[in-house]
Amino acid sequence: MIEVKSFEDINNLINERSLLLFDFWAPWCGSCRMLMPVIKQIEDELPELTVAGINVDELQEISSQYDIQSIPTLVLFRDHAEVASHNGFASSQALIDWIKEN
């Protein structure tokens, strides 16, 4: 997982990667911590997917721009455009299916 530190990081990733998943999380969030091994499994199973983590506590402006109301929230980009978002915990297979459907 790539750690996002700025708007510039986000823009570079969106422009450079054709399949991109932003994981909005916080260190105090139990569901976020539970989702981390699931995200790792998805990365292993979908090598074409780039995952980037965005700590909502450190990057509040970015979280606001994407209208993040709850965490964990996953935002999927395909071919440089936002295509879907997912809130809350889910299994790796459910998220892989969601990614493939979108």
For 18-58, what is each residue's pLDDT tens digit? 999 999 999 999 999 999 999 999 999 999 999 999 999 99
Structural domains of the chain, with CATH: 2-101 (3.40.30.10)
Which residues are part of the catalytic machinery?
Answer: 29, 32
- pLDDT for the residue 96: 96
Can you spell out the DSSP letters for 13-73?
Answer: HHHH-SEEEEEEE-TT-HHHHHHHHHHHHHHHH-TT-EEEEEETTT-HHHHHHTT--SSSE
pTM value is 0.93
